[in-house]
Amino acid sequence: MAAAAVMMVSTAEAAPLPPFPPVNVCGVIVEQSWVPAESVPGQKGFSGSLGHDRTFPAHHRIVLEHYTGIDATTARRINGFLSMPELSDINRVALRLPTDNPELLRGVHRLCVEDFTIRGDEGGTWTTYGRLVPTQ
């Protein structure tokens, strides 16, 4: 019986994140850092992206305060998907913005991110956006 349970766990299907439709979010950048691309080896016996070698793209990790365009529930969902749930308690939202350009947000203090979305499964989380609009 235990062997059957182990077999079921190791061959279970990938669990994708629940659908997350694109959102537009604006806010004041209170934290930012650029993270280079990272390659992660797959884990033997797992399905989905966790079972395969994968590369997480280079990205800016930003935290927005005084955000608009989304409600608190959506912000909590984003923070949870990006493993930053503690930010929801202080009305902030974290975003990952894929880019190879570490200077992309240099001098930007307020930003609107259009068509931001999140996809992923147990092997990782990937984000995309349509356009970045620095604002005053």
User: By mean pLDDT, which of 40-49, 66-75, 108-117 is the weakest?
Assistant: 40-49
User: What does the pLDDT average to over 31-57?
Assistant: 85
Residue 79 has phi, psi (to 5 degrees) of: -60, -40
Domain count, the chain: 1
Q: Which domain holds residue 130?
A: 20-134
Any domain includes 56: yes
User: What does the pLDDT average to over 51-61?
Assistant: 87
Any domain includes 79: yes
What DSSP letter does each residue of 13-35 carry, written as one string? PP-PPPP---EEEEEEEEEEEEE
Any domain includes 98: yes
Any domain includes 1: no
* pTM score, whole prediction: 0.81
Any domain includes 51: yes
What lies within 8 Å, CB to CB, of 117 at 6+ separation is 20, 21, 22, 23, 127, 128, 129
Identify the pLDDT of residue 14: 56
Any domain includes 75: yes
